[in-house]
Amino acid sequence: MMESKREREQDAEYEKVTAALLKSRSGEFDLESILFLKLRNLGIQDLGCIGECINLERLDLSGNNITNLAPLASLRLLSVLNLSANRVSNLEPLRSCDSLQNLNVAGNIISSIESLHCLQSLRKLENIRLKDNTYNYTNPVCRNTVYRNIILEMFPNLKTLDGERVAGRGSDLYQLCKDIDETIKAGMYKNGQIVEHNDCKPWVQDNYWEIKKSNNAIVEEAYKQFTDVLHECRLLNNRATHVISQTEKSMSLKKQSKQYVI
């Protein structure tokens, strides 16, 4: 059956990012007001006018057919960028994205370590993902047996690589919790004896920590991202359970077959 004219027009529109697409996806009337964008799996090939969203902070372009990143060069406030499952080989335009902290380019065609040199000027870059085992995404550069060591040398401030925390780094929160714990323990003892504080008062009022509904766009986006991560964890858990089940079944069959050997 031949595609209708309307369907062809929709497909053509999604091949290139337009102002209309950006406004419909974000709910904003002004491109400069857009802070978060999720443009997954739309068949996008041309990023079009996305560079006009100069205040954009988080951008998800995963699952498209993007090759040219030039329109992203003007996004100086962009901190999180997901380009997984595209056809990107050149990251040079990202050199000017000074605020970039998290970059996901798993599932592209980045072929060499040299292709990553342009990112070395990004002082805030803490997380890079070039492969994702959950979705079997990778890049040709990942075949290099020493690529991980080279990247860690190139980016001394990196905290996570390919979803794994870099040993000895990114432990600020752990150290903070440890310091707080030691401080609390120190306050509990006096002359080797536990000190009881009957007049202790709570730091905050009752119900202070209860989650309240908010219209704040940042809170809503954080909640959406948490939901996405939770969904991915459930998928990974289901896959692991399936593999374990299949393995146990296979081992059980092998054990039964041996019992009948005469």
To which H or E segment does residue 160 belong? Answer: strand 160-161
Residue 228: per-residue pLDDT:
73
Structure-block tokens of residue 196: 């009881």
Residue 242: per-residue pLDDT:
79
What average pLDDT is seen over the chain? 81
Nearest CA among 80, 57, 77, 59 for reference residue 17: 59
Q: What share of the chain in percent tops pLDDT 70?
A: 69
pLDDT band at 260, cuts 50/70/90? low
Residue 255: per-residue pLDDT:
64
To which H or E segment does residue 245 belong? Answer: helix 217-259
Q: Give the whole-angstrom CA distance, residue 101 versus residue 159.
A: 10
- Amino acid 104 reads N
pLDDT band at 231, cuts 50/70/90? confident
Nearest CA among 120, 116, 124, 130 for reference residue 161: 130
Q: Give the whole-angstrom CA distance, residue 234 versus residue 236.
A: 5
pLDDT digits (tens, 9 = 90+) for 114-169: 999 999 999 999 999 999 988 999 999 999 889 999 999 999 889 999 988 886 54
pLDDT band at 63, cuts 50/70/90? very high
Q: Which residues contact 25 (CB under 8 A, 6 or more apart)?
A: 37, 38, 39
pLDDT band at 243, cuts 50/70/90? confident
> Helix, strand or coil for residue 117?
helix
